[in-house]
Structure 1
Amino acid sequence: MPRQRRNQLANPHDVGLAPSRLPKQIQFFGLAALAVLLVVALGYFVTEHWRRGTLVFGVAVLWLAVLRLACDSGVLGVLAVRSRRFDFWFTTGLGCAIVYLAVSIDALGS
């Protein structure tokens, strides 16, 4: 019987956690959507549209919170840092703070 190798990058906080009910293709599509949001935010930052870039970045962080609840840690890779619950609440709080920052600051030229 061959010796089974444990995944060295597996999240130790996910031991005993049921796998996601979403198909892997949908999980990877959600991860691709996150990448698109980050590229759009970077595009706004490069073109010096700071408020729009910050808003899109905040939405991307909130989308990451949804992904953390819905996707397996193996799909998210290094984006799955702690337990699902902790990662969800941390990214939700951070995303809300970033979105609030983006919408609460007045534009310079009005």
Structure 2
Amino acid sequence: MVVVVAVIAVAVVFVAQDRWRRGAIFFGGATLIAAAFRLCLPTVRVGLLAVRSKPFDVGALTLLGSVIVFLAATINTLGVS
């Protein structure tokens, strides 16, 4: 959980510096990291990442993280990185 929160903190710093695309990619990456942790670690070790069943959590986090990274990578920046 600490690793995921640390990556989210990096994402917030990027967004605060008007680097919304990098921040969104980091946020999506944090979601994908959470999915990997939920998949690999036992339920008692993942803490707050365990919301529902393991397959549901992994599927939902993977889908959400992938969509965030895809959108951040494909949206036109209009001159802003």
- TM-score (structure 2 length as normaliser): 0.88
* Aligned partner of 2:32 among 48, 62, 71: 62
Would you say 1:34 and 2:4 are equivalent positions? Answer: yes
Paired residue type of 2:14:
Y
Query: Following TM superposition, by how much is the alpha carbon of 1:94 offset from its aligned partner in structure 2, in angstroms?
Result: 0.5
- Alpha-carbon RMSD across the aligned residues, in angstroms, is 1.4
Tell me the distance in 1 between the aligned counterparts of 2:43 and 2:65: 20
| 1:89 and 2:59 are equivalent in the alignment | yes
Whether 2:1 is the aligned partner of 1:44: answer: no
TM-score normalised according to structure 1 size? 0.67
Counterparts of 1:34 and 1:103, CA distance in 2? 20
Given the alignment of the two structures, is residue 98 of structure 1 paired with residue 65 of structure 2, yes or no? Answer: no
Q: Give the letter aligned to residue 8 of structure 2.
A: L
Q: Deviations over 1:83-103 (max 9, x none)?
A: 111110110001110001100
TM superposition outliers: structure 1 runs of 4+ over 6 Å: none
Unaligned runs of 5+ in 1: 1-30
Q: What is the alpha-carbon distance in structure 2 between the residues aligned to residue 42 and residue 82 of structure 1?
A: 27
Q: How many residues align?
A: 80
Aligned partners of 1:42, 1:73: CA distance in 2, in Å? 28
- Following the alignment from structure 2 to structure 1, what is the Cα–Cα distance between the partners of residues 13 and 41? 27
Larger Rg: 1
Which protein has greater RCO, CA pairs closer than 8 Å, 6+ apart? 2
C-alpha distance in structure 2 between counterparts of 1:46 and 1:73, whole Å: 34
In structure 2, give the amino acid aligned to 1:66.
Answer: A
CA shift at 1:48, angstroms? 1.8
